[in-house]
Amino acid sequence: MKTLIHLCTVALVLLSCGECVASVPGMMSYQGKLTDSNGQPVSDGLHNMTFGLYAAATGGTALWTETKSVQVTGGVFSVLLGSTVEIPNSAFPGTTWLETQVDGSVMTPRTRIVNAGYAMLAATAETVLDGSITSAKIAPSAVSSSTIADASVSTADLATASVTEPKLANNSVTSWKMTPFSVINSKIGPGAVTLDKLASNIKLVFDVTEYGAAGNGTTDDTTAFQNALNAASAAGGGIVWVPVGNYKIATHLDIPARVTLEGVHRAVPRDASGSTSTLLAYEGSGNENGTPFIFMNANSTLKGISVLYPSQSTTAPVAYPWCVRGSGDNCSIVDVLLCNPWNAVDFGTNASGRHYIKSLYGQPLHTGIFVDQCYDVGRIQDVHFWPFWTEGLVTYTQQNATAIKFGRTDWEYVTNCFVLGYKIGYHFVRTATGNCNGTFLGIGSDGSDVAVQVDSAAPFGLLITNGEFVANYGASSVGMYVGADGGSVSLTNCAFWGASNRIATIDGGSVKFNSCNFMDWDRNSTGEYAIVANGGRLTVQGSTFVDNKNRVRVASGVTAAIVVANQGMSNSEISNSIGAKCTVANNQH
């Protein structure tokens, strides 16, 4: 019988740890010497050997086995266990024994696998159970930016609320230590990440409460807000964060360049009560020309904020300075509710090119938006001016207020905007710097004395598409008025109704109605025409006149007119005072 004599057992076990250290193989080196019953080395050559790992010195089921043909020379052999069948971590549950078979004979006793020198240090890691490192196990300041591998901390690695303020060294939290979504709120203890814990290069969020803002509606938070805004500016830009609360601003605020003043809204709320970030404005009662409540500089943003004027009257409103005024390119307003400003947004007093307004709601009491001196493209979308604050002032705004007013803008994109209850819905004027041209898609005005008033437009034109314009049934209300300096105005696929007087009065310019729909005019049955042109040029084509009333009157002051291919009237029903200069054809009653 052959006897196995161990000359050297190397217990250097290098186990694979999966994705952690993928280069470490699940193998170990093993050497021995085979002798016969007389102690003499067995014959040289290949011998069939089977190796197995067991959890006990005798018996049991093998945790791992491997069979291979082994070269033996002078009785000595050396093998790399696991080179054929990788040794799994589960083969080392605590105490492990190696059994060897040679040419079908089991060598006894089994050999116990033990540690080699420095490998004993691994015992420390073996005592750490999954999920056992909690906040109590980490010494204060033990985890710093230099001890965390890049992108190594994920939500699964952290116990709930285990990251607390004492565990973070100053400046230890950097942007490259956290992968996207790697740390969520439930993992971070309240107040754990403070400004001093953030590296200077990522101190981009400045919480107004950390600068002393109370948000209780009575404490003056002006200084706290401005200090936070200034700190963001000094850092090269950032977000000034406004948590839920009512923040009294006794005077006014200045948003520096590249700074965002941001509240909790991700969609505009119904009003400023409840879980909102609301600024309470007080300064300037009775002084329309005073300092604006919020002044925006180039590349600044107002986002997710509500503004309320608590002292404004619900029956006889008084003037206040502009709520928001921009200066410089790229001023942006996003997801903002301006509940009851006298004048809401001024992107005209100072040059404000490439301005951007998206999801602005409110009830401006005098002027909603004013655009002028825009020497680049401006964008306004999803504006909704409606009696959010009180329906009691609708009559007042119908008699006194303008929703959106355009002066000089070298191209304006306006989409999906709706206004209700204003004397003038959309007003186009000439200022000292010029007038407006642009594209207006899906705009609407309801309950207006004049839904669209064009005192002046640039020769490049106002292109109005898919508009809906409803007058307020007042004694002299009209859907549209174009003045003598009207410029070029083209309306396509628009609908007009509700005018007590007429749908449109054209005193000048070049006005085109294409595929439009007209109904519900001359509500007092005085014989008014739907469209009256007193001057300029007029085109009405492919449109529909729903009511059986007077439709189009072309007065003697008109330069030229084309009224063709309309439904709801015959050629003979057009009042033509310019003879051959008016082309009338193919109209069908």
| Rounded percentage of the chain residues whose pLDDT exceeds 70 | 83
* pLDDT for residue 143 is more than 90: no
**pLDDT band for position 127 (cuts 50, 70, 90):** low
**pLDDT band for position 151 (cuts 50, 70, 90):** low
Higher pLDDT, 159 or 56: 56
**pLDDT band for position 298 (cuts 50, 70, 90):** very high
Phi-psi category of residue 124: left, alpha or beta, with phi > 0 → left and psi -120 to 50 → alpha: alpha
In terms of DSSP H, where are the helices of 167-234? Answer: 222-234
Give the pLDDT confidence score for residue 159 in this predicted structure: 73
Give the pLDDT confidence score for residue 36 in this predicted structure: 85
Under 8 Å between Cβ of 81 and 30: yes
401 to each of 153, 458, 463, 561, how far by Cα in Å?
56, 24, 24, 33
Residue 21 burial class via C-beta count within 10 angstroms: exposed 0-12, middle 13-18, buried 19 and up: exposed
Q: What is the pLDDT of residues 197-213, one digit of tens each?
A: 665 545 589 999 999 99
Give the pLDDT confidence score for residue 21 in this predicted structure: 41
pLDDT (mean) for 347-367: 96
Q: Phi first, then psi: what are they for 89, rounded to 5°?
A: -60, -30
Q: What is the pLDDT of residues 209-241, one digit of tens each?
A: 999 999 999 999 999 999 999 999 999 999 999
Q: Which two tokens mark 225?
A: 């807000």
Give the pLDDT confidence score for residue 171 in this predicted structure: 63
Name which of 419, 438, 311, 319 is nearest 374 in CA terms. Answer: 438
Q: Which residues are bridge partners to 481 per DSSP?
A: 453, 505
- Between the CA atoms of 58, 59, 63 and 68, what dihedral angle is there, to the nearest 10 degrees? 80
Higher pLDDT, 472 or 406: 406
pLDDT (mean) for 331-350: 98
* pLDDT for residue 22 is more than 70: no
Q: Which two tokens mark 507?
A: 């005193």
0.85 surpassed by pTM: no
Q: What is the pLDDT of residues 58-93, one digit of tens each?
A: 999 999 999 999 999 988 999 999 988 999 988 888
518 to each of 66, 367, 545, 547, how far by Cα in Å?
90, 28, 5, 8
pLDDT (mean) for 140-166: 70
Distance, CA of 420 to chain centre: 28
Higher pLDDT, 158 or 494: 494
| Whole-angstrom distance, CA of residue 115 vs CA of residue 122 | 9
Name which of 195, 161, 189, 193 is nearest 178 in CA terms. Answer: 193
Residue 439 burial class via C-beta count within 10 angstroms: exposed 0-12, middle 13-18, buried 19 and up: middle
Give the pLDDT confidence score for residue 1 in this predicted structure: 40
DSSP 231: H
Three-class HEC string of 324-362: EEECCCCCEEEEEEECCCCEEEEECCCCCCCCEEEEEEE
Q: Which two tokens mark 231?
A: 């700190």
